[in-house]
Amino acid sequence: MPRLRLVNKAAAVAALTTIVSGVGAASVGAASGTPTKATSGPLGSSCAPASLKTVKAGEITIGVDDPLYQPWFASNNPKTGKGFEDAVDYAIAGELGYPRSATAFTRVTFDDAIQPGPKSFDYDLDEFTITTARAKEVDFSAPYYTVAQAVVGLKGSAAAKSHTLAAVRKLQLGAQVGTTSYSVITNQIKPVRAPRVYNDNNDAEAALQDGQIQGLVMDLPTAFEVTTGEVKGTTIIGQLPLAGQPSSFGALLDKGSPLTTCVSKAVVALKANGTLAKLQTKWLARVGKAPELK
């Protein structure tokens, strides 16, 4: 599995660069006499496995949705490390000092992830868009990806020729429930007809093919995944301007989780050393440019 190894290498390179550049407090931890095993993280002793209060001691538990979709995960199996969020999951764990063997996954539905009770995971990357309203109920890490929203339509349909925001406004639009895509329809596009909402994108795609909706709004990477593979005969009508819309994905943690600062630090470090950019080119390579709707 060459791809797997590549991810590991990326994480290792990331870890190495942080230590070498002396960003982390690892040297401080070593100086103060903390036993530094191979598992001690590059972010310093306060963010090392020994001092992190994880759900299961000595192990990091990552929440993942069920089912998982490309390009964020591959073949509904988070253990592969394939897919952008899967790779970032492992990279964050690596940054915190957890080797692959100490990284576990647990399936978490959307409702389960945001409910107020105790969480079964330490962090969860599942295309959660960071907003201030949501941050009142859960903790978010620093953003790991900025995403644009796109409108998908049927190839050759009249809707596919809508090149302006004004034209898209007249379409019957739909989106998956609970997504930023839906908020974007109501807050940014403000369509003439009330949008339709579906349990998931599979249902929404069925509605698109049945002609019940003319435009399906989804995030750009998913839109590329859908139009270039999953659903035949679909095309990206255009992407929506980013300005003024919440568009950053963050790792979700329990409100007041003791890990939030460390996971955030890990994301910042991964961004600073270019790991995130690398993983993005690797796993979101299909994401090209779509014409912007103005």
49 contacts 40 by C-beta, under 8 angstroms: yes
In the complex with other proteins, which residue's Cβ is closer, 99 or 191?
191
In the complex with other proteins, which residue's Cβ is closer, 39 or 209?
209
211 contacts 278 by C-beta, under 8 angstroms: no
Min separation Cβ 75 and other proteins, Å? 24
Min separation Cβ 227 and other proteins, Å? 20
Q: Is the peptide bond before 67 cis (omega within 30 degrees of 0)?
A: yes
Scan for tokens 């949008």, then name that residue.
Answer: 195
- Nearest one of 82, 201, 85 to 150, comparing CA atoms: 201
Min separation Cβ 8 and other proteins, Å? 33
Rg (CA), the chain: 20
- Angle formed at CA 12 by CA 104 and CA 144, multiple of 5 degrees: 65
SS3 state at 125:
coil
174 contacts 168 by C-beta, under 8 angstroms: no
Min separation Cβ 109 and other proteins, Å? 12
In the complex with other proteins, which residue's Cβ is closer, 197 or 272?
197
Binding footprint of other proteins on the chain (CB under 8 A) = 110-111, 114-117, 131, 133-134, 136-138, 174, 177-179, 182-183, 194-199, 203-204, 206-207, 209-213, 255
Min separation Cβ 116 and other proteins, Å? 4
